[in-house]
Amino acid sequence: MAIQWSIILSAIVVLFLIALLSRSRRSSAPVLTSDWFFGYLTLFRMLTQYNDLLVEGYAKFNKHAFQLPGIRGWIVFVGRELYDDLRKAKDDTLSFSEEITDTISMEYTIGRAYATDLWHNAVIRKQMTQALGPKFPEVYDETVCAFEDELRLSRTEWNSVHAHGLILSVICRASNRLFVGLPLCRDPVYTQISRDFSGTVIAAGVTISLFPKLLKPLVGRWVTAAPRARRRFEKFLVPMIEERRRKEQEMGELWEKEKPSDLLQWLLDASKEHNPTAEDITTRILGINFGAMHTTALGFLHVLYWLAAHPEYAPVLREDVDHALANYGWTKEALGKMHKLDSFIKECMRFTGLTVTAMGRKAVKDVILSDGTFVPKGAKVVMNAWSIQHDPAVFYKPLEFDPWRYSSRIARGESEALNSLATASGEFFLWGGGAHVCPGRYFASQEMKTMLLVIVSRYDVKFEGLPKRVRPKDTWTSFSCLPDLKQRVMFKRRE
């Protein structure tokens, strides 16, 4: 019976997709490949050769816009000349949330309130980002303890660890030290739910997104484990929220002095005008965990692999760290002065990165872009990010990995802010851009730098069984570039 249902549902999906793409209106931009069979043959090619197609289109159309078929309609890939169109776009024209709803069906996985009422973004942007300086010692402490607990190294021996598992655990603890504080950030069940949640949401979201709107709630109930994860998270957070609310009532002004300083509290303080339930606040913490965890872990895994393949970069990074610490002590300011550390990570993100496109937006009405390209309602517009980040007209020797690319620019007198990892721009797309630019980018940059700083100052790293200067192969699936998730890395405590 279950098999019959899955065949019927698959048939509905296929028919739906064919109907959708054949009916969907096209942009006026040129089509890169054959659109035979409604473009679905190209679509299959895009599963494994997405980036090759985008590079081909970038060259063929001289960096101007072109289009390819997507699962739900046509996608217009644009070059740098249209960056400002996307950066300045408003949600009533080119919508970020419609794009997210289409791709990961957030309202059926994380929750409707989280997907539609985004007041938590302002808290991340303001209260959380402003607290990154004062909270740096705690995040640093958690990072050090998490590495020590996970690596369990003896004095002298090399130890091989599963790199993705290690990095995910460290990030989960360090992030949750800021989100909910001690001791919860170390609770094995809480951190397990947080680590698993992103995988659950993405898998379920992509499946749900393939179905027509009418069927989504039904499919959502079947395929996603997200509600269960939410209920398990609530067991930890709801009592904590209720206790904090009770203390606020009882302690009055004294609470202002004694209340915890973490994301949960900043959300509670900012929530008064929204009057959310404890469950709603829990969902927001879970949703922010979703946004923060795997992005940072996958990004940092690329960084770790570059370092393990090139141990010769470690002494240069150590010198950068020592110099900043000697002048600024263990502070966020010191971290800001570690230009080589920052440059190393930024170059990893430029060179390998996580996705080949950026700033995906769905047209919610017909739009004409500033170069005259017509984008019909329902089509998507995205930046052809990888092609720009590897364009010799934009970067000197872009196909070479130059870890000091950005720090050399600063040393030559260029702007520190423009060249720093946390800065989004029309040449660096890791954080997206415009109204929806990642609000967690300052924290994510700080976390990645803290991890790299801890690794280079406390450990030596290398690959086991790979020739020197060779990274494990990345996996290119659709628009993402994933580092090898199975790879092990050798760690040794430094003398």
Interaction with ligand HEM in 303-362: which residues (CB under 6 A)?
354, 359
Q: How far is the CB of 299 from ligand HEM (least distance, A)?
A: 4
CA proximity to 116, closest of 93, 90, 98, 94 = 98
Q: Mark the segment that binds ligand HEM (CB under 6 A) among 36-44, 47-55, 270-278, 293-301.
A: 293-301
CB–CB of 144/254 below 8 Å? Answer: no
Interaction with ligand HEM in 32-61: which residues (CB under 6 A)?
none
Q: Which one of 39, 291, 378, 403 is in contact with ligand HEM (CB under 6 A)? A: 291
Comparison of 65 and 223: residue with beta carbon closer to ligand HEM: 65
Sign of CA dihedral 205, 176, 97, 235: positive
**Site string (191-220) toward ligand HEM, x via CB under 6 A:** ------------------------------
> What's the CA gap between 373 and 396, in Å, rounded?
30
> What's the CA gap between 476 and 47, in Å, rounded?
9
Comparison of 75 and 490: residue with beta carbon closer to ligand HEM: 75
The H-or-E segment that residue 441 falls in is: helix 441-458
CA proximity to 359, closest of 296, 302, 431 = 431
**Site string (70-109) toward ligand HEM, x via CB under 6 A:** --------------------------x-------------
Q: Mark the segment that binds ligand HEM (CB under 6 A) among 294-302, 316-324, 372-380, 476-484.
A: 294-302
CA proximity to 489, closest of 139, 153, 180, 197 = 153
Comparison of 46 and 86: residue with beta carbon closer to ligand HEM: 86
Tell me whether residue 481 is annotated as binding. Answer: no
Comparison of 211 and 431: residue with beta carbon closer to ligand HEM: 431
Pairing assessment for the beta strands 480-482 and 475-477 based on DSSP bridges = antiparallel
Comparison of 223 and 424: residue with beta carbon closer to ligand HEM: 424
Comparison of 388 and 444: residue with beta carbon closer to ligand HEM: 444
Q: How far is the CB of 208 from ligand HEM (least distance, A)?
A: 19
CA proximity to 36, closest of 27, 45, 48, 28 = 45
Interaction with ligand HEM in 260-289: which residues (CB under 6 A)?
288
Q: Is 454 an interacting residue with respect to ligand HEM (CB under 6 A)?
A: no
Q: How far is the CB of 294 from ligand HEM (least distance, A)?
A: 9
**Site string (422-451) toward ligand HEM, x via CB under 6 A:** --------xxxxx-xxxxx--xx-------
Q: How far is the CB of 172 from ligand HEM (least distance, A)?
A: 11
> What's the CA gap between 100 and 380, in Å, rounded?
11
Q: How far is the CB of 433 from ligand HEM (least distance, A)?
A: 5
CA 154 to chain CA mean position, Å: 34
> Counting runs of H as helices and runs of E as strands, what totals does the chain give?
22, 12
Q: Which one of 76, 124, 341, 348 is in contact with ligand HEM (CB under 6 A)? A: 124
CA proximity to 409, closest of 422, 396, 400 = 396
* Residue 235 amino acid letter: K
The H-or-E segment that residue 361 falls in is: strand 358-363
Q: Is 111 an interacting residue with respect to ligand HEM (CB under 6 A)?
A: no
Q: How far is the CB of 152 from ligand HEM (least distance, A)?
A: 27
CB–CB of 306/403 below 8 Å? Answer: yes
- Sort 393 into a burial class: Cβ within 10 Å, 0-12 / 13-18 / 19+: exposed
Strand partners, 461: 491
Comparison of 210 and 292: residue with beta carbon closer to ligand HEM: 292
Comparison of 21 and 173: residue with beta carbon closer to ligand HEM: 173
> 168-200 as b/e, with b when 16 or more CB fall inside 10 Å?
bbbbbbbbbbbbbbeebbbbeebbebbbebbeb
> What's the CA gap between 460 and 468, in Å, rounded?
14
Sign of CA dihedral 61, 29, 365, 355: negative
Q: How far is the CB of 466 from ligand HEM (least distance, A)?
A: 25
Comparison of 174 and 317: residue with beta carbon closer to ligand HEM: 174
Comparison of 42 and 419: residue with beta carbon closer to ligand HEM: 419
Residues annotated in the binding site, as ranges? 438
Binding site for ligand HEM (CB under 6 A): 96, 118, 121, 124, 288, 291-292, 295-296, 299, 354, 359, 430-434, 436-440, 443-444
Residues annotated in the binding site for heme, as ranges? 438
